[in-house]
Each structure stands twice: as C-alpha cells, then as structure tokens.
Chain A
C-alpha cells in the first residue's frame, strides 16, 4: 500500500466476563482508515459501537478481555506498556464523549483542564500551555475565549461545553479522533454547528475520525464511510453514497427506512420489528435473523461470513447478492 493507514483495526473483540456467562460486545471488528478519512459506526443502542471505541483506547475495565490489533501509526495500542499507552491517549489518539458535562472535571476550569493535558504531553510551561488553550478555544469558536478559559464546566451551555471538549481532545494534535456520539446530548440547532465544526477541523488538521452515532442523518452529514454495526458485528461497510443509496444488508435498509430522512413525504415510516438481541444470548445463526423479513433456514442456523464486495466494502448477509440484483 502506498499510504499507510492511520488506523488499522484487525479482529477486535471485546468480551465481558460475567458470572452469568461471557458477553461479546464486539465480535471481530476489522477495518482500516486512511489519513483524513471519516468513518461512522452506525447502530442502535447496545450494538457495541461505544465499546468498540473504548476498546480501541484500552479504556475498558479489567474484567473485559480484548483481543485483536489496533494499529495507530504502526504501533499496536493494545500491546503498549502503561506509560506509552498514557502517552498515546490524548496524544495521537484522542476521544470526545457524549456528555460534555460529565466528561469534564467539575472542579477545574476549562483552561486548567486543557493546559493540564498539554503540560502532561509536551512538558511545556503552564503559562504557555494556557496560551495554547486560549488559541484552541478560539479555534473551536468559543466567543470571548479569554473569559471562558476561566469558566467551570457548569458555567457554560451544552454546545459550548462540547466545543471545549473538542478543544481538549485536539490539544495535542491527535492523528486519530474517536467521537462517541458527540452530538446526541445537544439540541438539533447546536448539533449541526458541532458537526460542521468537527468536519472543518478534521479537514484542516487532516485527522482521521471514527464517529459513533445512531443517527443516520448525522452519519450522512459527517462521514466518508459508514460501518453498520449490529450485535457486536459489522454487518455492512461501504462509502456513504453506497450505503445511503443502495443498502445491501436488510438491517441497513431497515435503519434507513425508519428514519425521517429516508421516509419521503406521504410514505409511512417503517420500523424494524422486534428489538436487538441480548449480547449474552445471541441467536445461533445471523444475529439479525429473528427480525429479518428475508430470513430463511440457513440464516437461522449459520452465521453468514463477510462477503467482500470491494476495498472497504463488505456485507454480512446470505441474501446480499439477491438484494444487489434487485438494486440494479
């Protein structure tokens, strides 16, 4: 390959060991992301999308066993010793969270929190770190940044807090940014501002972004590629255009049909019948089969393998070929 991938995830599996039995929240996720590319992991709550991000950061608790490889800049994050891992987190690999109120420490000001991270990673003086923090707040378009630097998280609005969170995540120029539903907790008008800001920053800084959301509209807005996740597995990956126009997996279709975006005026919004399976008691065959209209005997008994349709385009369904025929 001419250009090395910014992130290369191979067979990432996160198992939670519990008394009631093991639970595979992520089951062999494999993908790679070029520099400057934005991928969205799309899925319902409980599909394992947030766990994927946390597993990539090595943030899961001890009772979770994580296998696979997460290569960032050629190094496997999961095999780094603690000190190097701490250096990588917030350095080349950074993360923004869903709830900025909860993710910022309530007893320190925004400025202190950003400066602390910079000092920790780059060892520069606190005063110059503070200057950097100011520049960062200006960069994420927080009005009267110098004053906001001295604000506590509770003194800011939701959108402003998320901007501050983004500034914190970008403090040390990460090459890969993981965003865990960063717009879900915000109201719609603020959501779009934050999305636009993220896209602008991503293009300017040439970051690779892995964006997790359950919102098809948000996914379409921000990403180059989409990975649809169901019950801990990627059921379909492809470019935004492919997935939005010609979804191949019945689940992707259902997801698109059940959003206002996909449902045209005068058409009934369709829902996917049933609910996602419990991760500790997955069906024997395809995890989606109990809810799938196309499911047959084969789907109920065997787990479909990935069908590679092109570079970065896979689908995990026995009926994908017939579905493709229909689409064409």
Chain B
C-alpha cells in the first residue's frame, strides 16, 4: 500500500508496476469464442457456408446450364444418369437449377433484411433514444404499416411496382422495416432507462458517445438476432412472391419459382418436386438456428 501514499494526493502510482495484462478479448471476439463452443451453431453455420459456396460457385459445381431443357429428358427421377437430382418439367437439370437458384433465394433472403436492418435500426434507435415527439411520430407511422398483414403488404407493393427481382427485394424490405423499428425501439428505450446510461453520463460521457459506445453494444445483439431470424421469413416470403408470379420471372431459377412450376408434377416425380421446398426449409432452419445460437452467444450473462 505504501507505494500509493507516496504519490501524494492521487491514489495511483505514477510509474505503473509492469504487470502483463493480457489484452482484453473485446466483446465481439468473446461472442465469436462462445459461438465456436456451441456444436449446433457450428454445424448449422458449416451447412449455411456450404450452401453459400455452392450457390456462389454454381458454374463450377454444376456443369450443366440451368436454363436449357430437353423435351425428351423431362421429369427424370433422382439418381438418373447425367442428372443426379433428376430434371424438372422442361427437362432442365435440377442440381444446376438448385445451385443457381440459391443465388437469388439467398439474395432475396439477405438483401431485404439488410436494408430493413439499416433503415429500421436507425429509425428505431432514434425513436427509442429520443422518445417524446420524435419517438411518437416514428412509431405511429410504423403502426400504420402494421395494420396490413406482411404478405399482403408485400403483394400490394409488388403489385404496384411490378414484378421483378429488384421490386420484390424492395417490397420485402419495406415489409420488414416496421417490425425492425419496433424491436429496436423497444430494446433501446428499455436500455436507455437503465442506471448505467446515467452512470456513464455521470462519468463524463457525452450523448453521442453513449449512443455509439453503450447503447449500440447493448442493443445491437437483440436487433441482430431478430434480423437473422427474419432472413428465413424473407426467403419464404420471396418464394411466395415468386410462386405468385410477382417475384423473379422465369426462366431464371429461384427456389420459390421452381416450387411453383414443379407443383403440377408432384404426382409424377414427388421427390424432385419437393427438392426446392426442402432447400427453402433447410436454409430457413439454418438461419433460425444461427439466430438462436447468436442470441445465447451475445448475451454475456449467459456466458457460463
């Protein structure tokens, strides 16, 4: 203790004793560490990465053209020569179509969520932190959008804008903004009234530092988790839009569209017809489980 008294009025020694303090792992690195210790999340993550790489490198893994069909080779069963996953109703190779189709499906899953995460997140955090008139204005506007069921709203927007990939991404982004705003607003306003925000202010933190440093770290977890769970919904909704003819237009491959066009063949080749549905299911499931793993990894209180 004597070293402290020697320095006079301050309680801290001026030449600090050289003690090796291992660098603090930081929040995100410790989240990463916990994610790695969760077998389900790791398995699901590997599966997701596999799907991602197969679709990204579709021209390499699938040698056949996804849009050229053959009249004589229609609706071949799984395991037939040259088409190990069979062919669809116009004789196009299912493996190639699934691989190429994944690109659009993942895009329509991730892109709307990313857009709504950015816009909705900013709006929600603003509403939650500012409160008062600003908060009310933002939240009541969102309530107007809430009045419509999400799929109906997506159909309505797509119907107005016309079909196509870009428009369906836009429509889904608009559909996801209100729930994203609501989630961000809720977690932010809960967090804002906790003592540590006041304590941070009492130790000289400015408002912008509080928002960037304390609020974001506390709020980003729940928001990100919610966003991840929306990806699966987005894939399913966009598959629904394609199914209704409002999303991606044929002959482009997309899982929802494929499911739609193979519907008529369900009695001829039930397994082939089910393949796009299976892919949608597996991918959505993977995203949901990732969200789940992320949720427990991001909560430091559950760390043990």
Task: Enumerate chain A interface residues (CB-CB to B < 8 A).
Answer: 54, 57, 59, 82-83, 86-91, 94-95, 97, 99, 102-109, 111-112, 116-117, 120-121, 127-128, 130-132, 134-136, 139, 146, 149-150, 152, 154, 165, 168-171, 173, 201, 204-206
Contact assessment for A86 and B21 in the assembled complex, using a CB-CB cutoff below 8 Å: no
Q: Give Cα A165 to B4, complex, Å.
A: 19
A97, A105, A117, A205 pick with most chain B CB within 10 angstroms: A105
Say yes or no: A105-B214 contact (C-beta < 8 A), given A173-B11, A206-B9: yes
With beta carbons under 8 angstroms apart, the residue of B5, B194, B196 that contacts A204 is B5
Closest CB pairs A-B (n = 6): A90-B204, A90-B203, A102-B195, A131-B16, A103-B199, A95-B202
Using Cβ atoms and an 8 Å threshold, which residues of chain B touch A128?
16
Contact assessment for A135 and B217 in the assembled complex, using a CB-CB cutoff below 8 Å: no
Determine the residue in chain B with the shortest Cβ distance to A109: B24
Contact assessment for B195 and A97 in the assembled complex, using a CB-CB cutoff below 8 Å: yes
Determine the residue in chain B with the shortest Cβ distance to A99: B195
Does B209 sit at the interface, judged by CB under 8 A?
yes
Contact assessment for A97 and B203 in the assembled complex, using a CB-CB cutoff below 8 Å: no
Contact assessment for A87 and B204 in the assembled complex, using a CB-CB cutoff below 8 Å: yes
Q: Give Cα A121 to B204, complex, Å.
A: 8
Q: Give Cα A204 to B11, complex, Å.
A: 8
Contact assessment for A89 and B301 in the assembled complex, using a CB-CB cutoff below 8 Å: no
With beta carbons under 8 angstroms apart, the residue of A105, A106, A131 that contacts B21 is A131
Main secondary structure of the interface of A (DSSP, over half): helix
Interface size on B, residues (CB 8 A): 36
Q: Give Cα A106 to B10, complex, Å.
A: 28
Using Cβ atoms and an 8 Å threshold, which residues of chain A touch B144?
none
Enumerate 7 A-B pairs (CB-CB under 8 Å) in ascending A order. Answer: A59-B198, A90-B205, A105-B214, A121-B204, A131-B21, A135-B12, A146-B19
Using Cβ atoms and an 8 Å threshold, which residues of chain A touch B17?
131, 135
Q: Give Cα A287 to B213, complex, Å.
A: 44
With beta carbons under 8 angstroms apart, the residue of B5, B21, B217, B301 that contacts A134 is B21
Using Cβ atoms and an 8 Å threshold, which residues of chain A touch B214?
105
Using Cβ atoms and an 8 Å threshold, which residues of chain A touch B13?
135
Using Cβ atoms and an 8 Å threshold, which residues of chain B touch A112?
24
Determine the residue in chain B with the shortest Cβ distance to A152: B300
Q: Give Cα A88 to B10, complex, Å.
A: 17
Q: Give Cα A102 to B218, complex, Å.
A: 13
Contact assessment for A120 and B9 in the assembled complex, using a CB-CB cutoff below 8 Å: no
Task: Enumerate chain B interface residues (CB-CB to A < 8 A).
Answer: 4-5, 9-13, 16-17, 19, 21-22, 24-25, 27, 194-196, 198-206, 209, 213-214, 217-218, 221, 300-301, 303
Using Cβ atoms and an 8 Å threshold, which residues of chain A touch B21?
111, 127, 130-131, 134, 146, 149
With beta carbons under 8 angstroms apart, the residue of A87, A91, A104, A109 that contacts B199 is A104
Q: Give Cα A44 to B301, complex, Å.
A: 34
With A54-B198, A87-B204, A108-B27 given, name 6 new contacts (CB 8 A). Answer: A86-B206, A105-B200, A108-B217, A120-B204, A131-B16, A152-B303
Contact assessment for B199 and A95 in the assembled complex, using a CB-CB cutoff below 8 Å: yes
Q: Give Cα A296 to B209, complex, Å.
A: 55
Say yes or no: A111-B24 contact (C-beta < 8 A), given A201-B11, A204-B5: yes
Using Cβ atoms and an 8 Å threshold, which residues of chain B touch A165?
199
Contact assessment for B202 and A57 in the assembled complex, using a CB-CB cutoff below 8 Å: yes
Using Cβ atoms and an 8 Å threshold, which residues of chain B touch A206?
9
Say yes or no: A102-B194 contact (C-beta < 8 A), given A135-B16, A139-B4: yes
CB distance from B16 to the nearest CB of A (A): 4
A131, A170, A201 pick with most chain B CB within 10 angstroms: A131
Using Cβ atoms and an 8 Å threshold, which residues of chain A touch B213?
116
Using Cβ atoms and an 8 Å threshold, which residues of chain B touch A88?
204
With beta carbons under 8 angstroms apart, the residue of A107, A132, A136, A173 that contacts B27 is A107
Contact assessment for B203 and A105 in the assembled complex, using a CB-CB cutoff below 8 Å: no
B11, B198, B200, B218 pick with most chain A CB within 10 angstroms: B11
Contact assessment for B10 and A173 in the assembled complex, using a CB-CB cutoff below 8 Å: yes
Contact assessment for A107 and B9 in the assembled complex, using a CB-CB cutoff below 8 Å: no
Contact assessment for A117 and B204 in the assembled complex, using a CB-CB cutoff below 8 Å: yes
Using Cβ atoms and an 8 Å threshold, which residues of chain A touch B204?
86-91, 117, 120-121
Q: Give Cα A205 to B159, complex, Å.
A: 72
Determine the residue in chain A with the shortest Cβ distance to B196: A105
Contact assessment for B199 and A97 in the assembled complex, using a CB-CB cutoff below 8 Å: yes
Say yes or no: A59-B206 contact (C-beta < 8 A), given A97-B195, A154-B301, A205-B10: no
Q: Give Cα A152 to B25, complex, Å.
A: 12
Using Cβ atoms and an 8 Å threshold, which residues of chain A touch B194?
102
Contact assessment for B300 and A107 in the assembled complex, using a CB-CB cutoff below 8 Å: yes
Using Cβ atoms and an 8 Å threshold, which residues of chain A touch B10?
173, 205
Determine the residue in chain B with the shortest Cβ distance to A58: B201
Using Cβ atoms and an 8 Å threshold, which residues of chain B touch A109?
24
Using Cβ atoms and an 8 Å threshold, which residues of chain B touch A146?
19, 21
Using Cβ atoms and an 8 Å threshold, which residues of chain B touch A95?
199, 202-203
Determine the residue in chain B with the shortest Cβ distance to A136: B12
Q: Give Cα A48 to B21, complex, Å.
A: 43
Say yes or no: A170-B24 contact (C-beta < 8 A), given A83-B206, A90-B204, A108-B217: no
CB distance from A87 to the nearest CB of B (A): 6
Determine the residue in chain B with the shortest Cβ distance to A131: B16
Q: Give Cα A171 to B11, complex, Å.
A: 9
A82, A127, A150, A206 pick with most chain B CB within 10 angstroms: A150
Q: Give Cα A99 to B199, complex, Å.
A: 10
